[in-house]
Amino acid sequence: MPQLDFKQHLTELLAEALKAVAPDATDTAFVVERPKDARHGDYATNLSMQLARPLRQNPRALAEKIIKELPLSAWVENAEIAGAGFINFTLSHAARQRIVGDVLAAGAKFGQTNYGAGSKVQVEFVSANPTGPLHVGHGRGAAYGASLSTLLDFAGFKVQREYYVNDAGRQMDILAISTWLRYLDLHKVSVPFPPNGYQGEYVREMAIQIQALHGDVYVRAAADIIKNAPNVDEDKEAHLDALIANAKDLLGDAWHYIHHYALTEQLNDGRADLTEFGVIFDCWFSEKSLFETGLVARIVEKLEAAGHIYVQDGAKWFRSTTFGDEKDRVVQRDNGLYTYFASDIAYHLNKFERGFDKVINIWGADHHGYIARVKGALAALGLDPAKLDIALVQFANLIRNGQQVAMSTRSGSFVTLRELRHEVGNDAARLFYVLRKSDQHLDFDLDLAKSQSNDNPVYYIQYAHARICRVLEEWAGCQSDLPGARVDLLTSEHEAALLRRLADFPATINAAAAEYAPHSVAFYLKDLAADFHSYYNVSRFLSDDQEMTYARLALISAVKQTLANGLAILGVSAPEKM
C-alpha cells in the first residue's frame, strides 16, 4: 500500500467538495496546514474564507456546505468549523496507525513524493575557479547544493548535478604565472612576486612538483620576464598581465603545460575534497569547450543578428538594459577577446539545449547583480528566463573561541574546507552549513560543532537515532514483527505528538523542495528529535505488557527510520552508537 500524505489527501477531499459547492471556483487557491494549537485538530483550511467574498456568502455558512459535501474517508474522524470559518480536521485512529505502518513498510523510501513528477532539473553549484583549495565559503555552497539536489530527487525530480569548470579565463593564467614564478624562485631566478598573484603554499608545492619532473627546462631570464612590464606600484593588474604575456611568449607550448598542470592539480584536489565531503557531481563542464566548439562566437553573432548588440569604442556591447539590467554589458572587447559574460551566455544556452525543464544556479550572494543580465540574455535568445532560478548563498563566517576567523584567498590566509572537515567532521560540517536559509549570513561556531551537548543540533539529532538503536538492541526481538503492532494503543500526549510529526514528513519534503530549502528538513529533524527525547524521558519502552511494548517499539522504529531518511537528504550519517 503506498504511503499516504494526509495533507494532500485532505486537499483532494476539499477539491471534490468544492465541485459541488462552487463548481465555477474550483481553481481557488487554499491552504491545508497544521494548526498552531493541537487542540484545534490535526489540520485546518481557510478555504471557506477564501471563497466567501467572491461567492458573497458567509464564511461559516459556506464551511457548513463544504463539510456536508466532503467525501467519506477512513482517515478522517471529524471535520468542524472554528473561528470565522476555518475547517478543522481530526484524523482517525486508523490514520494514526497507518503512519507507523507506512514508515516501516517504505523504509528508506518513506517521505519520497511525486511532487516533481519526473521533471528534469539541473543544479549547478560550487563551480569555484580551480585556482586553489576549496575554502569554507565554498563548503556552504557545496553542502547546500548537494542537499538541495538530493531533496529534489527525493521529491520526484530527475536531477543532474553539475560543476562548471572555469578553465578558460584570466584567473587560470594568474595561477599559472604564480606557479611558474615559484618554480623560477627554486632555481634562484629572482623575479619579485606580484602582490595580486596566488600566494598560498599549495602554489609552491606545485612548483616543487614541476621541478622534480622537469628540472630546469622551464627556466628563463628574469630580465625577459619583466620586460616592458608597468611598475607594480602604479598598476599592479597591468603589471601582472604583462608578466603573463611575457611568459606565454618565452615558454611557447611549455606555457600550456604549466597552465594545464596547475589546473589539473587544483581540479583533482577539489574533486577529491568534495568526494570526501559526500558531494558528487554527474558532470564537470569545461568552459574551454564553449570556445573550442565555437558556441561563444555563434552566440554573439546570434545576438548581433537580432539587434541586441552594438559597437562602441571597438567593443561589442549587449543591450542588457533593455531587459532590466542597470547598464549594458561588453561581450567582446576591442582586442577581439570574449568576456566572461559571453561564455556564460553560451553556457546557459547549452544547458537548455540539453533539455532541462528547470535550471538552478547556486551562486555566491555577491553575484546578485549578475542575475538580470543572464536572464536578459536568455530572453534575447528567445528562451524563457523563468526556467532559470538563482539560489544565492551567503558567505559563512567561521567562529572560534567567540572570535571570527579572518580569511583572504589570494594571500593564502584562509581555512580550507578540508581543514574544517578534519576539525569538526563531515557530519557537523554538512548540517551546520544548511541550518539557515542559504541567503542568510551564517556564523559557523566551531566549538559548538565539536561539542557533545544538546545545544549541538548534529549531536542532538544523531543521539536520538542512536538512542532508539540502543533500545531495539536491548529488546533483541524480531523487528519484522513490529509492523503488526497495535498502534491504536498509543494515546499519550507524547505519542500523539510523534505521530503528528511523522505524518508531516512527506509534506515537509514537498514544501522544502518547492522553496529550495533543505534547512526546512534540518528544522524538521530537530523537532522530531526533540519530540523523541521528551518521549524517551517519560516512557518505559520494554515492559511485561507485550502489546504496548510492540506498539511503542514500532513507533520509535518509525522515528528512527524517518531520522535516517532526513539525515541522508542532508548528507549526514545516522550512527547506531554514540
Whether residues 403 and 274 share a domain: the answer is yes
Out of 371, 392, 413, a domain closes at 392
Whether residues 427 and 461 share a domain: the answer is no
The answer to whether the CB of 412 falls within 8 A of the CB of 125 is: no
Distance (Å, rounded) from C-alpha 245 to C-alpha 250? 9
Q: Which of 20-34, 277-291, 347-361, 549-563 shows the lowest mean pLDDT across its residues?
A: 20-34
Which CATH number characterizes residue 75's domain?
3.30.1360.70
Average pLDDT over residues 516-525: 98
578 inside domain: no
Q: Give me the pLDDT at residue 408, please.
A: 54
297 inside domain: yes
Which CATH number characterizes residue 339's domain?
3.40.50.620
3-state secondary structure 245-279: HHHHHHHCHHHHHHHHHHHHHHHHHHHHHHHHCCC
- pLDDT tens track for 336-351: 999 999 999 999 999 9
Has residue 94 got a pLDDT over 90?
no
* Signed CA dihedral, 215, 217, 222, 227: sign only: negative
- Tell me the residue range of the domain where 129 lies: 120-164+284-392
> Confidence band (pLDDT; 50, 70, 90) for 2?
low
Residue 163 β-bridge partners: 284
At 372, is the secondary structure helix, strand, or coil? helix
Distance (Å, rounded) from C-alpha 183 to C-alpha 421? 31
Whether residues 126 and 84 share a domain: the answer is no
Residue 123 β-bridge partners: 161, 360
3-state secondary structure 293-347: CCHHHHHHHHHHHCCCEEEECCEEEECHHHHCCCCCEEEECCCCCECHHHHHHHH
Q: What angle do CA 290, 361, 511 make, to 5 degrees?
A: 150
Structural domain count, the chain: 4
171 inside domain: yes
293 inside domain: yes
Average pLDDT over residues 186-195: 95
Out of 392, 408, 430, a domain closes at 392
Distance (Å, rounded) from C-alpha 48 to C-alpha 86? 7
- pLDDT tens track for 442-462: 999 999 999 999 999 999 999
Q: Give me the pLDDT at residue 411, please.
A: 47
Whether residues 292 and 151 share a domain: the answer is yes
Which residue type does 173 have?
D
Has residue 5 got a pLDDT over 90?
no
Whether residues 476 and 416 share a domain: the answer is no
Which comes out higher in pLDDT, residue 366 or 517? 517
574 inside domain: no
Q: Give me the pLDDT at residue 26, please.
A: 84
Q: Give me the pLDDT at residue 27, please.
A: 86
471 inside domain: yes
Whether residues 197 and 143 share a domain: the answer is no
The answer to whether the CB of 323 falls within 8 A of the CB of 375 is: yes
Residue 158 β-bridge partners: 120
576 inside domain: no
> Confidence band (pLDDT; 50, 70, 90) for 39?
confident
- pLDDT tens track for 113-129: 999 999 999 999 999 99
Average pLDDT over residues 100-107: 94
Whether residues 183 and 279 share a domain: the answer is yes
Whether residues 378 and 297 share a domain: the answer is yes
Residue 408 β-bridge partners: 413
Whether residues 425 and 277 share a domain: the answer is yes
Does this model's pTM top 0.85? My answer is yes
Q: Give me the pLDDT at residue 413, please.
A: 57
Whether residues 288 and 273 share a domain: the answer is no
577 inside domain: no
Over the chain, what is the mean pLDDT? 94
- pLDDT tens track for 199-241: 889 999 999 999 999 999 999 999 999 999 999 999 999 999 9
Whether residues 278 and 178 share a domain: the answer is yes
3-state helix, strand, coil in the chain (%, to 5): 55, 15, 30
Burial of 327 (0-12, 13-18, 19+ CB in 10 A): exposed
Has residue 268 got a pLDDT over 50?
yes
- The DSSP-derived string for 193-246 is PPTTS--SHHHHHHHHHHHHHHTTTT---HHHHSTTPPPTTT-HHHHHHHHHHH
- pLDDT tens track for 142-174: 999 999 999 999 999 999 999 999 998 899 999
The proportion of the chain whose per-residue pLDDT surpasses 70, expressed as a percent, equals 98
Whether residues 256 and 292 share a domain: the answer is no
Q: Give me the pLDDT at residue 93, please.
A: 79
Average pLDDT over residues 93-106: 88
